[in-house]
Structure 1
Amino acid sequence: MKGHFKNILCILSDTHKQDEVVAQAIHIARRHQAKLTIQLKLEALPPNANMVMQSFAYLETHSSIESNAKAWLNEHIQNWAKEYPVTGEVTIGENFIDVIKYIIRNDVDLVIKLSDADIVERFFGSNDMQLLRKCPCPVWVVHRGESKQYDSIVAALDLNYHYPTHEISVRKKLNLDILRYAARIALMEFAQLHIVHVYDVVPESILRGGFISVDEDALQNDLEGIYAEREDELNRLLNELDKELDEGSLDYLKPEKHLVHGYPRREIAATAKAVGARAVVMGTVARLGVPGFIMGGTAEETLHQLHCAVVGIKPEGFISPITIDEE
């Protein structure tokens, strides 16, 4: 069943206070009895460095960085391995591109990393967003000080299937996958599972701008119809999940359903905050089958409003635009 991890990669982007995210990775790996690799990923020297340094000095500096980084990592691996079997490696290069190539080559099925954000108001750095967009496996991004045991997990679902026919089955599978991962995490953490879906009839910006007139009774009828439609689909998904989980697991989880009328780009994050979410599991791909669309506006805006960990899931069949043979 999806949601069970076998090969986990924990990425460290520097050597500053990394014990927290490693402890979280060990916690997850232990629960899943998964292989765990700690990768210290450092940026390469600036492109113009070889222009101002003689070639031998450039190569010597690069070698020195790598050697010192390996020494640091090996020292820490010895301590971390006392808690759980773990291997380590150092890579130097373009952050997200090289990481994704490594993930593809080694069949990694979960990436865990500390957010690259460097200011309070921004919760996801540029490399975080690139991984959430383009990494072929789930990406679990935690924020410093937030990687303790999670007691409230949110599965954010898009139950709107009013899309071209070829997209609908993929969207249904993605919703079920999100539920699978969220349920696994909730069971692993002995946490409360919340399921959030936000729906609307007429986009708020159109109503607010007065571009159309709306019959309030008709609008209310439409809202009631949409609510019933989305509730039926959610119940169907939960029935599917119940068949896959161990007997009694869904009854134990007692997931709380939140079908919220409002503007998805605002209300997904607001609802997650209201239920005290410690982690949100969500899809991080936009319109399926539309070239050039890797992450949509709703997902992107939601991510930047969340002040908790995020587990980003891709739909079945997603192929990363990064290939292992690209230079």
Structure 2
Amino acid sequence: MKGHYKNILCVLSDSHRQDETVAQAIHIAKTHQAEITIMLALEALPPNANMVMESFSYIESQQNMETQAQQWLSEQSKSWSQQYPVNTAVAIGDPLINVVSRVVNHDVDLVIKRAEESFLDRLFGSLDMRLLRKCPCPVWIVDRKPKSQYKNVVAALDLNYHYPEHEAEVRRELNRDVLRHASQIALLEFAQLHVLHVFDAIPENMTRDGFVTVDNENMEDNVASFFAERDAELTRLLDELESDLDDHVLEYLKPQKHIVHGHPRRDIAATSTSVNADVVVMGTVARVGIPGFIIGNTAEETMHQLQCAVVGIKPAGFKTPV
């Protein structure tokens, strides 16, 4: 099946309580029969450190930090390798640059990382969000309490194609990729696949703030029209997926469709929670010409609300700005 992961990079930001994260990454690597590298990506000493240290002390401290990191990672990998063969790497510096460089130079097709624990880290420029915006391959942010197996996988799709044709086609292809990745995860985890689309006929804030007067009967007609349009598109995407899969695989998956009239920034997360999602697969970038452009901030706001793993997918042609 398309999208099968072959080369996985598991990123550790520190040496604390990482066994569960690595176990989850190894579980994913095993199910995909992929090569896996565990990278300890550490921040370099602060730039102002060399102002209060002698030059030789600054260099020596950097070298000591790298040596100790290498020793710790080498020791840990002995137990990890008993579960599955792992490679290791240590990178000191800007974690985003080091991770993206590894992805580009080693043909990595999936990055796995544990979610940030600090709310402030998640909110203000965390490595998680930077990777979801700028890493060129899919990024799988695992829950802070990883599960050994997923039971419910959600593919969150944006089926609104009322855009210039080029952008609409980018969105169509992104939806195809999200659906492929989600179905692959569901198959390998023996999980239920849920396909979710949330649409808003008229933006909620416009009616709430009194900017638009809506005739209820016309509104109901518009909602019915939108629902029919999106349902037809979702059916078409599932038909395409069925042609990509082996015979009877889609019949085995039995994807459950959820087309919800609501507010995407709220109801993608709410609906995912209601179906007990273990992982949500969604597009994080809609426009290939704008590096790191999040879909109207919907993806970013949704991720902050989710209490499960997230897999962020980039559109074809995405070029990292890093």
Common topology (TM > 0.5): yes
What do the CA deviations read for 1:218-253 (whole angstroms, capped 9, x no partner)? 111111111011001000000000011121111111
2:65 aligned residue: 65
Q: How does 1:53-132 map to 2 (within 5 A)?
A: 53-119=53-119, 126-132=126-132
Pairing 1:261–2:251 present = no
In the alignment, is the contact (CA less than 8 A) between 1:42 and 1:93 conserved in 2? yes
1:296 deviation in Å? 3.1
Bigger CA drift: 103-112 or 283-292? 283-292
Pairing 1:133–2:124 present = no
Letter in 2 for 1:261: H
In the alignment, is the contact (CA less than 8 A) between 2:137 and 2:314 conserved in 1? yes
Q: How does 1:225-236 map to 2 (within 5 A)?
A: 225-236=225-236
Letter in 2 for 1:285: V
Q: Secondary structure at the match of 2:169?
A: helix
Q: How does 1:31-42 map to 2 (within 5 A)?
A: 31-42=31-42
1:48 deviation in Å? 0.7
1:2 deviation in Å? 3.2
**What TM-score results when the alignment is normalised by the length of structure 2?**
0.96
2:186 aligned residue: 186
* Number of matched pairs: 322
1:125 deviation in Å? 6.6
Distance 2:47 2:34 in 1: 37
Q: What is the root-mean-square deviation in Å for CA atoms of aligned residues? A: 1.7
In the alignment, is the contact (CA less than 8 A) between 2:182 and 2:281 conserved in 1? yes
Distance 2:96 2:296 in 1: 19
Letter in 2 for 1:191: A
2:3 aligned residue: 3
Q: Percent identity among equivalent residues? A: 59
Letter in 1 for 2:171: R
In the alignment, is the contact (CA less than 8 A) between 1:200 and 1:263 conserved in 2? yes
Measured at CA, do residues 153 and 291 of structure 1 come closer, stay the same or move farther in structure 2, by a change above 3 Å? Answer: closer
Measured at CA, do residues 121 and 65 of structure 1 come closer, stay the same or move farther in structure 2, by a change above 3 Å? Answer: closer
In the alignment, is the contact (CA less than 8 A) between 2:284 and 2:314 conserved in 1? yes
Distance 1:134 1:303 in 2: 16
Distance 1:120 1:257 in 2: 34
2:299 aligned residue: 299
Distance 1:199 1:48 in 2: 49
- The unaligned stretches of length 5 or more in structure 2 are none
2:16 aligned residue: 16
What do the CA deviations read for 1:44-92 (whole angstroms, capped 9, x no partner)? 0010111111111111111111111111000111111111111101110
1:290 deviation in Å? 4.5
1:147 deviation in Å? 3.4
Distance 1:18 1:124 in 2: 23
Letter in 2 for 1:42: L
Q: How does 1:110-259 map to 2 (within 5 A)?
A: 110-119=110-119, 126-259=126-259
Distance 2:216 2:153 in 1: 35
1:277 aligned residue: 277
**What TM-score results when the alignment is normalised by the length of structure 1?**
0.95
Measured at CA, do residues 137 and 264 of structure 1 come closer, stay the same or move farther in structure 2, by a change above 3 Å? Answer: same
Pairing 1:28–2:28 present = yes
Distance 2:43 2:87 in 1: 21
Bigger CA drift: 230-239 or 281-290? 281-290
1:122 deviation in Å? 5.1
Distance 1:102 1:148 in 2: 27
Q: Secondary structure at the match of 1:296?
A: helix
Distance 1:284 1:266 in 2: 16
Measured at CA, do residues 146 and 84 of structure 1 come closer, stay the same or move farther in structure 2, by a change above 3 Å? Answer: closer
1:145 deviation in Å? 1.1
